[in-house]
């Protein structure tokens, strides 16, 4: 599996490909003046669903955000649900504090 990040202007697409074809994609928008990356949409093609590929795409977006010192706002409900279950994203997860603490009560903020 291979990730490819195609950034264009203040937006982009991260694709996940196997040896033959695209497995899925994640679209994002960057607000550099706010140090923010917004995950707009996550898509996994039907034949690859149920194998964690969407989570891999979200993790790749988080990695990209960390490399650029951006926070991540998961506008996409799938990306938000994935991030809510992750324990190591408090440094980048941009979510209203009460909602974040509801899912991460032991967080060291």
Cα 20 to Cα 79: distance, rounded to the nearest angstrom: 25
pLDDT of the residue at 95? 72
The residues pairing with 11 across neighbouring beta strands, listed in sequence order, are: 8, 29
Kindly state the percentage of the chain with pLDDT values over 90. Answer: 81
- Report how far apart, in Å, the C-alpha atoms of 95 and of each of 15, 36, 73 are: 25, 12, 7
Residues listed for the chain: 109
Average pLDDT for the chain: 90
pLDDT above 60 for 15: yes
Cα 62 to Cα 37: distance, rounded to the nearest angstrom: 9
Query: How confident is the model over 26-75, as pLDDT tens digits?
Result: 999 999 999 999 999 999 999 999 999 999 999 999 999 999 999 999 99
State the pTM of this model.
Answer: 0.86
Residue 12: phi, psi to the nearest 5?
A: 175, 180
pLDDT of the residue at 87? 87
């Amino acid at each position: 599996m291979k990730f490819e990040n195609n950034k264009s202007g203040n937006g982009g697409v991260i694709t996940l490909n196997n040896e033959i074809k695209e497995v899925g994609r994640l679209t994002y928008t960057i607000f550099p003046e706010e140090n923010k990356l917004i995950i707009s949409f996550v898509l996994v093609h039907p034949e690859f669903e149920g194998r964690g590929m969407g989570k891999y795409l979200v993790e790749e977006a988080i990695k990209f955000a960390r490399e650029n010192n951006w926070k991540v706002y998961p506008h996409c409900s799938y990306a938000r649900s994935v991030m809510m279950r992750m324990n190591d994203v408090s440094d980048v997860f941009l979510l209203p504090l009460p909602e974040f603490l509801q899912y991460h009560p032991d967080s060291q903020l």
